[in-house]
A and B are shown apart, each in its own frame.
Chain A
Amino acid sequence: MTRLRTLTFAALAASVVAATGAAPASAQTTTGPGQIGPLQIGLIAPLSGIYARPGQVMKMGAELGIEDVNAAGGIKCLGGAPLKLVTIDSGDSVEKATNAAQRMVAEYPELVGGTGSYLSSFTLAVTEVTERANLPLLTLSYSDLITERGFKTVFQTSATAGAQASIALPIIMDLAESETGRRPKTVAIITDNTAASLSSVKRMKDGLLQRLGLEIVMEETFTPPLADASSLVQRVRTSRPDLLLFLPTVISDANLILQKLREFRVSVPTISFGIAIAEPEVLNVMDARLVEGVMSAVANWGVKGQEALIKRLKDRYGEPWMTQNAISTYGDMWLFKTALEKSCSRDRQKLAEALRTLDGGPSQYYPGGTIRFDDKGRRIGASLTIIQWRDGVPVTIFPTDLAVAKPVWPKP
């Protein structure tokens, strides 16, 4: 139906003059109030282009989440109504994301909520549309700007980029001191120019590094995708920092830089931000020994107690481990269930209201804090996880209670 109408539209727009009032009627399925028709949840994420891979992992997490919610009896308050996933490709540009969001709200008027859209620029664009359509949207994107616009229907489940740097760096400094006996003094920063990375770096430079006694000896910003990392890595080598902070967003960039670091035999303890250096693809181009010990601060990761879920992800989709994109999106489905039980309605505005006032107790699928949102829509007490490559698998080493391994300071 949707496809047919979209095609009709193409023909229509191509020959605009031949208009005969063929305006498409809005899509309506026949679910009336009180019936046990499924509740539609949208996943709007990049499924094509250079950010496609994280989008696909989000989809896996969403599918597992919906399956588990439904297996647990759906939304009991609404007569056990199941959740149903609607997937929309947000593409690889801000304009495509805007178009996709507009398509989502126009074509699926029955959606009660949604989750998306990985890159914070896309999330910003998508939420400009969903806010106006009163559609509640959960997001794992970090950018502080997302929840600084006074929007009422956007809920950020991760710690914001600014917050993440201030949580992670002190932990890492303590770790270095306890393992090596001395605190790092100098730091090099390599970052791409996506908004989340830049706002992390901004926070670091706005006093955080100074408070930690770290001096920046080299800083370089690049535009993804990177063609050659030689000069970047060469600069790291000549500046001889105690610590390298590394903030890529695109997997191929992370690979390229890690590879070059090894090729040039640069053995600086490397702390990354984000999941690009911990995607399974890293092992396609690098030997696991080369990344051994590399750490990354990520918003979320598979942790202790989720072993069964991690195994299902591996069996079903062949994903070797549970990244932030899978676990957060999985958790989003449970969050929607909790909120829907509270709003007990198919109305999206009531769902948004329920999310704003929810008190869901300690968080199970997001690290730290509780299932409560502040006035801006940020999850209260949101923390992060720190992961480390160990024997070919990135595992959680912080928070301590969720860690599956003890941290080890990478030996230079």
Chain B
Amino acid sequence: MAFLRSLLPYFTFAAGYLVVAMLVENSYYQLIITLVLVWASFGLSWNMLSGYTGLISFGHASFFGLGAFATVLAQIHLGWSPWIMLPVSALIGALAGVLIGLPTFRLRGHYFALSMLAYPLAMSYVFQWLGKPEITIPRVLDHPALFLQFEDRRVYSVLALLLLTVIVVITRWIERTRFGMSLVAIKQNEAAAEAAGVDTLRWKLKAIAVSGAIAGAVGSFYAVVILVITPSSVFGMLVSAQALTVAMFGGVGTVWGPIIGATVLIPIAETLHAVIGSYLPGIQGVIYGLAIIILIIAAPEGVFWKGVDLIRRRRVPAAGTVPSGAGGVSRAASVEPAGGASPASRISDRIMLDVRGVSKRFGGLRAVRNVSFQVRKGEILGIIGPNGAGKTTLFNLLNGFQKPDQGQVLLHGSDLAGCRPHFACRAGIGRTFQVMRPFKRWSVANNVKVGAYVRAASEEEARAIAREAVAQVGLSAISDRPASALTTKQLRLLELARAIAGRPEILLLDETLAGLGSEEAKEVVAVIRTLAATGLTILIIEHTMQAMVQLVDRFIVLDHGQLLTEGLPEAIVKDPRVIEAYLGAKWAAHA
């Protein structure tokens, strides 16, 4: 129900657009009305991959062109109607997406964007080489409607609107489910997403398949509308650019972006061409380019997000009355006595994690050397050591970001060494990061929900788990607040909540207290203690010794990648070797 309600603005827009389309009889305006919808749909295809995952594609013309060529060639050579080819083109697009995605997702950032650029260029040459410099859809005079050919151009607008509606519904549905959440999680921090149990490669492949399918269908429809296609008109750089332009102008990562972009830009470009172009041919391109530059400078994230920000800013005074974060945590802090239960009752004898002789070498640097230790269920284990001692690398080996050269990581007796992070997460290892990267526009609740998917079968369940996790860290009062409005402490707690939403058995915390004042650190420590009280096993890397000594049950000390020593906090702080490693030999003598 809520899903349908969220589509209400779109259906209002579609109804209005339909009314306009029906009233316009002029065939030229009708064509532009159709093309606005076509380019909006194509923009949504781009948005599906690049808008949500943040992997910018300069090559969406690949799928578009394949759909277009398939449709025209099928009618010429096989006599197949575009009605059949519309879904077939979607299949072709999806297949092409997977084939292109498999090798290309090995790349990131600019490298991904640039290699995507190569595919349509290559395909353009293939079709040239096949002797298809230009092809046209044969005109059908008997039963033209069976071949998607209509006298009345309004039919094309209606069909285009239907196509757009289907795409919008799919997009909105994906946006609201774990599919979309996973994609956005990849965008904010691919490593964190993996650690939160998201199988990033699988979701990215799904995204490019859906995106390719949409682009294929849109390309197919485009060929029917324009009737003549050439390799450069469907595989050309300008086609890929069109998708980027409408999406970036309107707003990336929202269903509204491409719709706003196409509705504004396509008629403006065409009007400039028709009006000014006849006086000073070519000037239309200059004006159009300048207009886009000015707009991108004014609203770098697109018109839609600019609007959202403006509205939010107006509402800020009202939001100021919401209790501040400090109040939120007090509840958790008040549970402290429970967390303070004696370690002996908390820690069981069962060995949870058994690390046996793991080593990792980066070229000549032996980052971790033959480290072995055991962690019992319910224990809080502190890992300390000077900078460069190999602490974070050790974490990476434990949850699968890096594969150990030697050694085993046994969780409940089974070896996890070398498993991908999302697998480690499923197996029960959760993790937070030194550098926090929450999705800023999302609420606290939604940020946490991403972490819950690994354990939840349904949206409902994910929401319930997330709610529980938010309560556990004491952020319930501000669970609707966007992450961009949180303090550092609240962000740390948010990260904790996301990690525990995956219901881990072991939680790896990487410098969770970094950047916090001593009072704030105490509050976070209190929360961690309550988590431990629930039976969670915790490994924590930290520099703030004061907080650590109060928190942990036992320390292990790393230096130069080797296990220096391990023991109870009281013993460790007095151990000359530890002091020497941290402070130098001079101070060790005073110990």
Residues of A within 8 A of B (CB): 3, 6-7, 9-10, 12-14, 16-19, 21-24, 26, 47-49, 52, 87-89, 91, 93-96, 98-100, 102-103, 105-107, 120-121, 124-125, 128, 131-132, 143, 145, 149-151, 193-195, 198-199, 202, 221, 223
A13 with B267, Cβ < 8 A, contacts A3-B275, A19-B16, A124-B228 known: yes
Which chain A residue lies CB-closest to B129? A221
B284 touching A48 by the CB < 8 A rule? yes
B271 touching A9 by the CB < 8 A rule? yes
Residues of chain B lying within 8 A (CB to CB) of residue A95: 35, 226, 233
For A18, A23, A120, A143, which residue has the most chain B Cβ atoms within 10 angstroms? Answer: A23
- Distance in angstroms between the alpha carbons of A257 and B128 in the assembled complex: 21
A145 with B134, Cβ < 8 A, contacts A121-B228, A124-B228 known: yes
- Distance in angstroms between the alpha carbons of A399 and B221 in the assembled complex: 47
B133 touching A194 by the CB < 8 A rule? yes
Interchain CB contact (< 8 A) of A99 among B229, B264, B270: B270
- Distance in angstroms between the alpha carbons of A90 and B383 in the assembled complex: 70
User: Smallest distance from the beta carbon of A299 to chain B beta carbons, Å?
Assistant: 18
A91 touching B273 by the CB < 8 A rule? yes
B268 touching A94 by the CB < 8 A rule? no
- Distance in angstroms between the alpha carbons of A198 and B124 in the assembled complex: 15
A24 touching B29 by the CB < 8 A rule? yes
Interface set, chain B 228-271, CB cutoff 8 A to A: 228-233, 236, 238, 263-264, 266-268, 270-271
Q: Is B106 an interface residue (CB 8 A)?
A: no
A47 touching B277 by the CB < 8 A rule? yes
Residues of chain B lying within 8 A (CB to CB) of residue A194: 133
User: Smallest distance from the beta carbon of A60 to chain B beta carbons, Å?
Assistant: 14
- Encode contact with A along B320-358: 1 for CB under 8 Å, 0 otherwise: 000000000000000000000000000000000000000
B28 touching A103 by the CB < 8 A rule? yes
A89 with B281, Cβ < 8 A, contacts A149-B139, A198-B133 known: yes
A102 touching B134 by the CB < 8 A rule? no
Residues of chain A lying within 8 A (CB to CB) of residue B264: 14
Interchain CB contact (< 8 A) of A98 among B19, B25, B227, B238: B227
User: Smallest distance from the beta carbon of A95 to chain B beta carbons, Å?
Assistant: 6
Residues of chain A lying within 8 A (CB to CB) of residue B238: 93
B273 touching A94 by the CB < 8 A rule? no
B20 touching A12 by the CB < 8 A rule? yes
Residues of chain A lying within 8 A (CB to CB) of residue B151: 132
Residues of chain A lying within 8 A (CB to CB) of residue B271: 6-7, 9-10
Residues of chain B lying within 8 A (CB to CB) of residue A193: 128, 133, 231
- Distance in angstroms between the alpha carbons of A18 and B13 in the assembled complex: 10
A103 touching B128 by the CB < 8 A rule? no
A124 touching B136 by the CB < 8 A rule? yes
11 additional contacts (CB under 8 A) given A94-B228, A128-B228: A12-B20, A19-B20, A21-B23, A48-B281, A89-B281, A94-B233, A98-B228, A99-B32, A125-B228, A128-B136, A143-B134
B25 touching A145 by the CB < 8 A rule? no
- Encode contact with A along B14-40: 1 for CB under 8 Å, 0 otherwise: 001101100111111101110110000
Residues of B within 8 A of A (CB): 12-13, 16-17, 19-20, 23-29, 31-33, 35-36, 124, 128, 131, 133-134, 136, 138-139, 151, 226-233, 236, 238, 263-264, 266-268, 270-271, 273-275, 277-278, 281-282, 284-285
Which chain B residue lies CB-closest to A98? B226
User: Smallest distance from the beta carbon of A250 to chain B beta carbons, Å?
Assistant: 13
A13 touching B33 by the CB < 8 A rule? yes
- Distance in angstroms between the alpha carbons of A17 and B25 in the assembled complex: 18
B230 touching A24 by the CB < 8 A rule? no
User: Smallest distance from the beta carbon of B346 to chain A beta carbons, Å?
Assistant: 61
- Distance in angstroms between the alpha carbons of A128 and B229 in the assembled complex: 12
B267 touching A10 by the CB < 8 A rule? yes
Top 7 A-B pairs, shortest CB-CB distance = A17-B16, A48-B281, A106-B28, A48-B282, A13-B267, A47-B281, A94-B233
User: Smallest distance from the beta carbon of A345 to chain B beta carbons, Å?
Assistant: 23
Residues of chain A lying within 8 A (CB to CB) of residue B267: 9-10, 13-14
Residues of chain B lying within 8 A (CB to CB) of residue A14: 263-264, 267-268
A149 with B138, Cβ < 8 A, contacts A19-B20, A48-B281, A99-B31 known: yes
Interchain CB contact (< 8 A) of A16 among B16, B134, B275, B282: B16
A106 touching B29 by the CB < 8 A rule? yes
A26 touching B273 by the CB < 8 A rule? no
B28 touching A221 by the CB < 8 A rule? no
A7 touching B275 by the CB < 8 A rule? yes
A26 touching B25 by the CB < 8 A rule? yes
Which chain B residue lies CB-closest to A101? B28
Residues of chain B lying within 8 A (CB to CB) of residue A149: 136, 138-139
Interchain CB contact (< 8 A) of B273 among A7, A13, A89: A89
Residues of chain B lying within 8 A (CB to CB) of residue A103: 28, 274
- Distance in angstroms between the alpha carbons of A195 and B229 in the assembled complex: 11
A49 touching B233 by the CB < 8 A rule? no
For B226, B264, B268, which residue has the most chain A Cβ atoms within 10 angstroms? Answer: B226
- Distance in angstroms between the alpha carbons of A47 and B33 in the assembled complex: 24
User: Smallest distance from the beta carbon of B273 to chain A beta carbons, Å?
Assistant: 6
B23 touching A121 by the CB < 8 A rule? no
Which chain A residue lies CB-closest to B272? A10
User: Smallest distance from the beta carbon of B161 to chain A beta carbons, Å?
Assistant: 11
Q: Can you show 20 pairs from A to B with CB atoms below 8 A apart?
A: A9-B29, A9-B32, A13-B33, A13-B263, A17-B13, A17-B16, A21-B23, A24-B26, A26-B26, A48-B285, A89-B273, A93-B233, A94-B134, A94-B228, A102-B28, A103-B28, A125-B226, A128-B227, A193-B231, A202-B131
B134 touching A121 by the CB < 8 A rule? yes
For A96, A99, A194, which residue has the most chain B Cβ atoms within 10 angstroms? Answer: A99
- Distance in angstroms between the alpha carbons of A159 and B76 in the assembled complex: 25
- Distance in angstroms between the alpha carbons of A249 and B35 in the assembled complex: 29
A23 with B228, Cβ < 8 A, contacts A10-B267, A47-B281, A143-B134 known: no
Residues of chain A lying within 8 A (CB to CB) of residue B28: 99, 102-103, 105-107
B139 touching A150 by the CB < 8 A rule? yes
User: Smallest distance from the beta carbon of A173 to chain B beta carbons, Å?
Assistant: 26
B31 touching A120 by the CB < 8 A rule? no
- Distance in angstroms between the alpha carbons of A98 and B535 in the assembled complex: 69
- Distance in angstroms between the alpha carbons of A198 and B131 in the assembled complex: 8
Residues of chain B lying within 8 A (CB to CB) of residue A99: 28, 31-32, 35, 270, 273
Residues of chain B lying within 8 A (CB to CB) of residue A52: 281-282
Which chain B residue lies CB-closest to A148? B136
B13 touching A16 by the CB < 8 A rule? yes
A98 with B31, Cβ < 8 A, contacts A9-B267, A49-B282, A120-B134 known: yes
Residues of chain B lying within 8 A (CB to CB) of residue A221: 128
- Distance in angstroms between the alpha carbons of A381 and B26 in the assembled complex: 40
